[in-house]
Amino acid sequence: MAAKANPIPSVWARQQRETEQPALSRAAIVREAVAVLDADGIEALSMRKLGARLNAGATSLYRHVATKDELMELAVDEVFGEMVAPLADGPDWRAAVTAAAESFRATTLRHRWLASVIGQAGLAYLGPNLMTYSERMAALFAAAGFPEPSRAIDAVLSYAIGMSTTEAAWLTTVARSGQTEADFIAGLMPTAQAAVSGSEHLASAYDAVVGVDPQGLRDTKFRYGLDVMLDGLALRLPGAAEPRA
């Protein structure tokens, strides 16, 4: 009422050129969302908190992003841009594919929330960055002489996804405990030992691993499975001996 009867003062009270921040844009929102996700994990990202980070109200974001799920899709493709697959020029397709897979793993471990999102939404995003990554990989396999590159992509990528998401989830659990990985494992051992008691093969596998550098273990584990897969693929190149079990 009072404000309506007296419109004049607002002229003076008006904020002059309050465009300090580069305004709100889809790109800025996605970038900040990734920052929050990296820093505090997936359950810490709320529209209100994100809005506050951008000096904006929560619902303002909805002008640039249809829904939170869409924002997550954009964030996923954003970080997919960090995954690089070498160009198909070198003769060593194994090294190139290995580099591409390691890049996938490294990116997933750098942005551990990816594991959750991939589990919920899969790879059906069709985002441009995922597209160029896949295309590069297809070119790699095609240049190597594979008749059906997409088959090989699916195999290698599925392995990379499974191993990387499991690893990311594990590291998230570790991080939440506030301990180092080695300490966390040490603290978990009693429970684990009890769980595998009566399982002879598992128990011996556990014993063989106690006290070893965990990160190195994860690295070689990933490389092992990847090498196995690439060996299997190599057998499918034109001219190769049949494997025999």
With CB cut-offs between 5 and 8 Å by kind, which of a second copy, DNA, none does residue 115 bind?
Answer: a second copy
Cβ at position 245, least distance to DNA in Å = 47
Pair 30, 80: CB distance under 8 Å: no
Evaluate whether 181 touches 209 at the Cβ level (below 8 Å).
Answer: no
Shortest Cβ distance from residue 142 to DNA (Å)?
40
Shortest spacing between CB 104 and a second copy, in angstroms: 11
> Is 33 among the residues that bind DNA (CB under 7 A)?
no
Q: Which does 195 bind (CB under 5 to 8 A by kind): a second copy, DNA, none?
A: a second copy
Binder among 60, 98, 132, 172 for DNA (CB under 7 A): 60
Residues 38 and 228: their CA atoms lie apart, in Å, by 32
Query: 79 and 111 in contact (C-beta within 8 Å)?
Result: yes
The CB-side HSE value for 26 (13 A sphere, CA atoms) comes to: 13
Minimum distance, C-beta of residue 217 to DNA, in the bound complex (Å): 32
Between 54 and 164, CB nearer to a second copy: 164
Establish if 149 lies at the interface with DNA (CB under 7 A): no
First to last CA, the chain: 87
**Of 64 and 136, which CB lies nearer to DNA in the complex structure?**
64
**Of 33, 34, 37, 45, which lies in the binding site for DNA, with binding defined by CB under 7 A?**
45
Closest Cα partner for 124 from 111, 109, 134? 134
Burial of 102 (0-12, 13-18, 19+ CB in 10 A): middle
Q: Rule CB under 7 A: which residues touch DNA?
A: 10, 14-15, 23-24, 45-49, 51, 55-60, 62-64, 67-69
